[in-house]
Amino acid sequence: MKAELDIDISILAEVIAREVVKAVRSLNQQQVKHEDDALCTVQSLAKYLEVSPQWVYERINRKEIPFIKMGKFPRFRKSDIDRWLDSQKVPVTQTQPKHLKLVR
């Protein structure tokens, strides 16, 4: 038995490509969401923030940084840390001299 399709191959290829792109985007979004929910150790958080582990322990003791206690081990959810970082932003102040002097 032989079947013939009256479908333009270029249209079929475009539809397949579009579906592949949708599937890959969905996988990427799931991966990003999983990474945001991942738990960090003190060492991995220190590396992420580019600070020393001692700095992280000081923030834990002062309860200045969001963490989860797993027994005696502090853990950090990356999404919580990113929100915490956003809350630490210092507002920009633009101070310009009132009188500018042109020097030539």
Q: In the block, which residue shows the tokens 């001299």?
A: 97
Average pLDDT of each block of 10 consecutive residues along the chain (104 residues)?
Answer: 68 82 77 71 96 97 96 95 93 73 71
The identity of residue 24, as a single letter, is: V
- Please list, in sequence order, all residues whose beta carbon lies within 8 angstroms of the beta carbon of residue 83, skipping any fewer than 6 positions away: 66
Domain boundaries, the chain: 9-86
Looking at residue 34, its pLDDT comes to 55
State the DSSP H helix or E strand holding residue 17, giving kind and residue range, or none if neither: helix 9-37
Query: What is the CA 92 to chain-centroid distance, rounded?
Result: 23
Whether the Cβ atoms of residue 65 and residue 100 lie closer than 8 Å to each other: no
